[in-house]
Amino acid sequence: MDLDRLDLNPRIVAAVKKAKLRSVKEVLHLSGPDLQRRTHLSSPDVQLLLRASASLLRGHGVCTALHLLRQEGPFPEQHQRLSLGCPVLDALLRGGLPLDGITELAGRSSAGKTQLALQLCLAVQLPPRHGGLGAGAVYVCTEDAFPSRRLQQLIAQQQRLRADVPGHVISKIRFGHQIFIEHAADVDTLLQCVREKVPVLLARGMARLVVIDSVAAPFRCEFDGAALALRAQRLLALGAELRRLSCAFRSPVLCVNQVTEAVEEQDLVAGPPGQVTATVRKEHGRPLHAAEVRTCMYAHTRPGDHIHPPS
């Protein structure tokens, strides 16, 4: 009960509880004279009660726009992000994935989108001091089977890939036991999973990352060109639900999307810090308009290189 957090004489707090006021908000909903009648406190005591209640709700002091820009000030939790474990990618995204919002990862086949998503499923399990969130991940597959073999290969290489994390920290984490896999081959199953199953894991603290791989696949299969309006409506509903979950549980959401044609380097457009967009001529599905960060992966090759599809 937040009444116990009031910096007041216990006599005043006891009078408030006796008046059956259960919270600070209920106290502030009443005027001074109403509080006097209900609590039988004196006018000076009521004024002390109102000031203490307002101070408790206000919490921190004023945070200016400059504080937010510099990522400093009284709200450090607003600036916490999920590190990708790569200094270059973290610098691109200003520290990693935001905790309250959707990040859309787009690119052509074999660009490494799933590999990055798997690495994030491992990174989220690290303690906060090492860029993680100390919890597991929910991985929703909509197209292909979950790449268990690739995940095990990544787990085996974590001490080498994450040289910035002490070995004893990595060895204590059972990475494979904290990734919850769901399969959703159609839109209804995907929406049901997001609305019913994912919230349970987030509410219990078992997961702090949600991955949808890929978000456009079920929409592409079910809706043809004559049903664009319905497809857009269902896609917006999915985006709204994912954003609600992300904000409610402060858990990042990563939506993987695929393009059918190679994204040319000249198509890449540098947006604000932490955001890279691309002009793509043809997509498998519609972009997720609820995404706050949209990143495009481009597979660079050199003459003589041989491209091997990931196992």
pLDDT (tens digit, 9 = 90+) per residue, 207-221? 999 999 988 888 877
Is residue 1 classed as helix, strand or coil in its secondary structure?
coil
Name the β-bridge partners of 296.
106
Q: Are residues 185 and 154 in the same domain?
A: yes
Calculated CA dihedral for residues 213, 305, 278, 290, nearest 10 degrees: 10
Q: Are residues 46 and 172 in the same domain?
A: no
Confidence band, pLDDT 50/70/90 cuts, at residue 18: very high
Q: Are residues 225 and 84 in the same domain?
A: yes
Q: Is residue 223 part of a domain?
A: yes
User: Could you read off the pLDDT of 40-88 as tens digits, one per residue?
Assistant: 999 999 999 998 888 877 655 566 777 666 655 544 555 578 999 999 9
State the Cα–Cα distance between residues 230 and 235, nearest whole angstrom. 9
Of 248, 258, 245, residue with least CA distance to 297: 258
User: Could you read off the pLDDT of 92-110 as tens digits, one per residue?
Assistant: 888 899 998 899 998 888 8
User: What CATH number is associated with residue 195?
Assistant: 3.40.50.300
Q: Is residue 150 part of a domain?
A: yes
Please state the pTM of the whole predicted model. Answer: 0.66
Q: Are residues 8 and 81 in the same domain?
A: no
Q: Are residues 21 and 108 in the same domain?
A: no
Question: According to the model, what pLDDT value does residue 276 have?
Answer: 43
Domains in the chain: how many in total? 2
Q: Is residue 54 part of a domain?
A: yes
Q: What is the mean pLDDT of the chain?
A: 81
Q: Is residue 260 part of a domain?
A: yes
Q: Is residue 311 part of a domain?
A: no
148-172 as b/e: b if 16+ CB within 10 A: eeebeebbeebeebbeebeeeebee
Q: Are 285 and 140 in contact (CB under 8 A)?
A: no
Q: Per-residue pLDDT for 251 more than 90? A: yes
Q: Are residues 147 and 27 in the same domain?
A: no
Is residue 276 classed as helix, strand or coil in its secondary structure?
strand
Which residues form the domain of 9? 2-58
Q: Is residue 158 part of a domain?
A: yes
Question: According to the model, what pLDDT value does residue 183 have?
Answer: 95
Summarize the confidence of residues 190-198 as an average pLDDT.
95
Q: Are residues 134 and 244 in the same domain?
A: yes
Q: Are residues 48 and 167 in the same domain?
A: no
Task: Compute CA distances 88 → 11, 55, 93, 274, whole Å.
Answer: 57, 42, 9, 11
